Amino acid sequence: MAVGARVRSLRATMALASLFGCGGHPADGTASVSSSAALMCTAIDASVCAMPTPSYASDIAPLLDRECNDTCHAPGVGPWPLTSYSDVVAWAISIRSDVEGCKMPPPDAGSLEDVDRENVLNWLACGAPDN
């Protein structure tokens, strides 16, 4: 698949995933938005790679396992898996957007500490190395 088509496909999937994530479905009234969660989420500038670069193996993978793979992204539950490096890199654009915009984790699933958000965003800004 061409890169442009893959990006369009990822964007479409991301839009669908946002409707059917842990927050429920807007049509059935179970979707929720927590203003307190949004207020607690601070803006983080992750446009520049800051050193030291977080490690996928020791920083990012354990964070995803703890905060994502045991809940919304558990096998058979979530819209896409985040259980391997290739899974995470395939969703890097969505992950960056959702973490930066305080959309993930969804309000009903808790929140990430700022240091965890900074690590994910910095790791992505550094090119998402498999380290």
In this prediction, residue 28 carries a pLDDT of 33
Task: Record the tokens describing residue 74, joined without a space.
Answer: 């558990």
pLDDT digits (tens, 9 = 90+) for 95-130: 999 999 888 888 888 888 999 999 999 999 999 999
pLDDT digits (tens, 9 = 90+) for 11-42: 433 333 333 344 433 333 333 333 344 457 88
pTM of whole model > 0.75? no
In this prediction, residue 97 carries a pLDDT of 92
Task: Record the tokens describing residue 104, joined without a space.
Answer: 């993930």
Task: Record the tokens describing residue 58, joined without a space.
Answer: 């020791």
In this prediction, residue 78 carries a pLDDT of 79
How many Å apart are CA 38 and CA 96, to the nearest integer? 16
In this prediction, residue 39 carries a pLDDT of 52
Listed as own residue / partner, the contacts of 38-43 with beta carbons closer than 8 Å and 24 or more positions apart are: 38/102, 38/107, 40/111, 41/102, 41/111, 41/117, 42/114
Residue pair 128/117 in contact (Cβ under 8 Å)? The answer is: no
The residue-averaged pLDDT of 59-73 equals 91
